[in-house]
Amino acid sequence: MTILLSEIDLEVKEILQEEIERQQNTLTLIPSENYPSRAILEAQSSVLNNKYAEGYPGKRYYQGCKTADKIEKLAIERAKQLFKGEHINVQVHSGTGANMAVYQALLKPGDKILSLNLFHGGHLSHGGKGTFTYNHYQIINYGLDRDSETFNYEEIERIAKLTHPQLIIVGASAYPRAIDFRPWRKIADEVGAYLLADMAHIIGLIAAGVHPDPVPYADVITATTQKTLRGPRGGLIICKKKYASSIDKAIFPGTQGGPFMHVIAAKALCFKEACQPEFKDYQKQIISNAKTLAETLKNEEFRLVSGGTDNHLMLVDLSDKDITGDKAATILEEAGIIVNKNSIPFDKKPPSITSGIRPGTPALTTRGMGNSEMRLIGEWISKILYNPHDRNIRRKIKKEVEEICKEFPIYEGLK
């Protein structure tokens, strides 16, 4: 039982080693990615992986759940301390799973969901074509205001009053501005809808108190733990007490089987880390870094959707440049700068091509990079995108990227 991966499967071992090197030697600007602590990775690969614990603490369908109960209770207790939510479910495997469980708990098939258009920054699980949500509910979309490229509350209210959705979703995967939850609550109350805040991207900022808190306003909040919260890959649901039983039942047995107890152990640790004062500093620096990167790109004559950022990401509009989002992401990768292509509001190009990229700063901030590194990276991005046909520029920058990566190791000594 003590056989190590390197002793039995060199093929897998080598691929994992290659990924360690890729992460170490490139600059991750994908805003949904991050580097959790080694301790979180350790908890996530612990023997709790081996335990089935269907049910909830004290009410399991399997024997041998004493430590499973302990760890799940601890995770819930810590999450409650962090978010001040009335009820928390830590079993949910992912953000999409969390949203599906909310629909199952609060809606009937065919009910109406009002959510942000996917191509204006919404998320697939809010009702994108081809999804379970799209097939089982009536999806109505609001978009962003054409001029400000932010939420237009009068328009959202008008659509809500016209269509009477049972559920309104506030939340996005590509929205660079801070969200005020009060108008959302008001609109939901006016039409008698539930309000779901999908905070997957900004939950770390919320935990640290550097972004407005949805907890007093939303009926349910869904999130992921691996993004700005810098935990294991997983989900999280916070809700009012009156929905506790429906939400828990919608997770198990509704949409999931056995909880991933090893991931719950890692979530417990993630919530502890997020309660530390350093975590608040980290979140503040994420925003500060994003603002610096945004300013640098603006100085280089790139247009940013909505004019800038209040959070961890920005959307760069490339439609006035000689390059698509797809091509931009590809050539940036050649220089070791990892971003994702992204549709911008009112994009004329399809989602496989796009006119934008969506850089974000959580991962680089975890590495310890600060404002001066952001300026440098912004200038590299600019140089590469203004010279898409010049391979030499990319080769030269790749070397500089590798140098800076050495200065900011992701995991000291990880093999």
Residue 39 vs residues 42, 153, 230, 313: alpha-carbon distances, Å:
5, 43, 12, 27
Instruction: Report the alpha-carbon distance of residue 335 to residue 401 in Å, rounded.
Output: 7
Closer CB to ligand DSN, 48 or 286, in the complex: 286
Taking the least distance from each CB to ligand DSN, the nearer of 89 and 173 is 173
Q: Dmax of the chain from CA atoms?
A: 64
Q: Are strands 112-116 and 138-142 parallel, antiparallel or unpaired?
A: parallel
Sketch the per residue contact string, 102 through 141, with ligand DSN: x for CB under 6 A, - otherwise: ---------------------x------------------
Among 32, 117, 292, 324, binds ligand DSN (CB under 6 A): 32
Distance CA 20, CA 33 (A): 14
Catalytic residues: 52, 54, 198, 224, 227, 233
Task: Give the end-to-end CA distance of the chain in Å, rounded to a whole number.
Answer: 21
The conformation of residue 302, written as its DSSP 8-state character, comes to P
372-401 footprint of ligand DSN as x/- string (CB under 6 A) = ------------------------------
Among 44, 173, 306, 309, binds ligand DSN (CB under 6 A): 173
Q: Which is nearer to ligand DSN, 174 or 210 (CB)?
A: 174
CB 39 within 8 A of CB 269: yes
The answer to whether 95 contacts ligand DSN (rule: CB under 6 A) is yes
Amino acid at the residue 80: K
Closest distance of CB 175 from ligand DSN, Å? 11
User: DSSP letter string over 169-227?
Assistant: EEE-SS--S----HHHHHHHHHHT-EEEEE-TTTHHHHHTTSS---TTT-SEEEEESSS
Q: How far is the CB of 360 from ligand DSN (least distance, A)?
A: 9
Cβ at position 147, least distance to ligand DSN in Å: 25
Smallest gap from residue 126 Cβ to ligand DSN (A)? 11
Contact (CB, 8 A) for 313 and 362: no
Nearest approach in angstroms of CB 95 to ligand DSN is 5
Nearer to ligand DSN, 173 or 225 (CB): 173
| Side chain identity, residue 286 | I
CA atoms within 13 A of residue 351's CA, in its CB half-sphere = 10
**Least distance (Å) between residue 361 CB and ligand DSN:** 14
For residue 172, give the amino acid letter.
A
- Asked if residue 231 binds ligand DSN (CB under 6 A), the reply is no
| Residue closer to ligand DSN, measured from CB, 71 or 315 | 315
Round to whole Å and give the CA distance between 367 and 408: 6
Nearer to ligand DSN, 173 or 365 (CB): 173
Query: Under rule CB under 6 A, how many of the chain's residues touch ligand DSN?
Result: 4
d(C-alpha 82, C-alpha 78), whole Å: 6
Q: With beta carbons less than 8 A apart as the criterion, state whether 265 and 43 touch.
A: yes
Residue nearest ligand DSN by beta-carbon distance: 32
Binding site for ligand DSN (CB under 6 A): 32, 95, 123, 173
